[in-house]
Amino acid sequence: MKNYGDEKECLILNTSMLCIVVLHKNLWCIAFRKIFIYNLPMPTVKEMGAFKRAVYVYYHKHKRDLPWRHTKNPYHILVSEIMLQQTQVQRVEVKYREFLRAFPTVKALATASLADVLRVWQGMGYNRRTKMLHEAANVIVRDYHGRVPRDMKTLMTFPGIGPSTAGGICAYAYNMPVVFIETNIRRVYIHHFFADRRGVTDAEIFPLVEATLNRNHPREWYSALMDYGTHLALTTENPNRKSKGYMRQKPFKGSDREVRGTILKILAEGPRSQVFLFKHLPFNKERIIHILENLERESLITHKKTIYVLGS
């Protein structure tokens, strides 16, 4: 799941189908059969050309000046893609710069303690991403001589990296004409090609992404899709509601995510006792203990006797 502008939106992807189509192009017929079943013919060359012009016209007038668009450094792109999972662009812009100041290279990240990485990550939420990014950095340093791999299949073996993140890394870091779908891409294609449909699957969208891909300039094309998708999120009734996998995210207030984030924020300031947490957290003790156990199971925190600290 990835979110570039609507924090309340959450999409559950049929990633197994997407992986099959991405990694085995000879199975492209799966997607085409689904389109045939729904009686949805592929757009004409003229229609696809008009679609691409509309995307580029918007982009050339309104493209966003984002810091990760000023680099081709694969490690920097990896950091930005992980951060942009489920987090608003405005928050990522600030934290991206701060994070790279603290960990300017993949080796710097790999050799840092998880506790230090968690401290820098504070304010981003979804802290499991921190551990997975830290683990991915260790794999890159240990097994790939500090170089981020340039193929989706390998990247998808890393912690926290699925098809959309792997595709983003290949497209933005290496300008590779890979095919992938994420929230904004899905929104654009549903808006233009499935306006009268509900229950649209990624398997139906995928051939359209493949057919309209600018293979000479995939980095720019995907940036254009992202910006246009963000524009549609603000100016139309969210087209992604027509996606078969669409699901609204539960409110943050009062959620386990709020409890987790609050605990980690307190522990980022230093070790704290269980009694301290009970006193300063506005949640019942049973719930706090349950969340503490989950965080420790995920190796985000550890404890000795009744004192809790960040990291494993």
Residue-range domains of the chain with CATH? 9-65+177-248 (1.10.1670), 73-174 (1.10.340.30), 256-310 (1.10.10.10)
The token duo for 82 is: 């992980």
Nearest alpha-carbon partner for 2 in 184, 229, 128, 242: 184
Distance CA 102, CA 234 (A): 34
pLDDT, residue 164, reads 95
**What is the residue whose two structure tokens read 């710069």?**
97
Spell out the per-residue pLDDT of the chain, length 312, in tens.
Answer: 343 333 233 333 333 333 333 343 333 333 444 444 345 668 889 999 999 999 999 999 999 999 999 999 999 999 999 999 988 999 999 999 999 999 999 999 999 999 999 999 998 988 999 999 999 999 999 999 999 999 999 999 999 999 999 999 999 999 999 999 999 999 999 999 998 888 889 999 999 999 999 999 999 999 999 999 999 999 998 888 888 887 777 777 888 899 999 999 999 999 999 999 999 999 999 999 999 999 999 999 999 988 999 987
Instruction: Show contacts of 132-135: CB within 8 Å, 24+ apart.
Output: 132/82, 132/158, 132/159, 132/160, 132/161, 133/78, 133/79, 133/82, 133/109, 133/159, 133/160, 134/109, 134/110, 135/159, 135/160
Tell me if residue 93 is catalytic: no
**What is the residue whose two structure tokens read 């949805």?**
40
pLDDT digits (tens, 9 = 90+) for 194-251: 988 888 899 999 999 999 999 999 999 999 999 999 999 999 988 888 888 877 777 7
The token duo for 26 is: 């000879």
Pick the catalytic residue from 7, 9, 47, 81: 81
Q: Which residues contact 154 (CB under 8 A, 6 or more apart)?
A: none
pLDDT digits (tens, 9 = 90+) for 107-137: 999 999 999 999 999 989 889 999 999 999 9
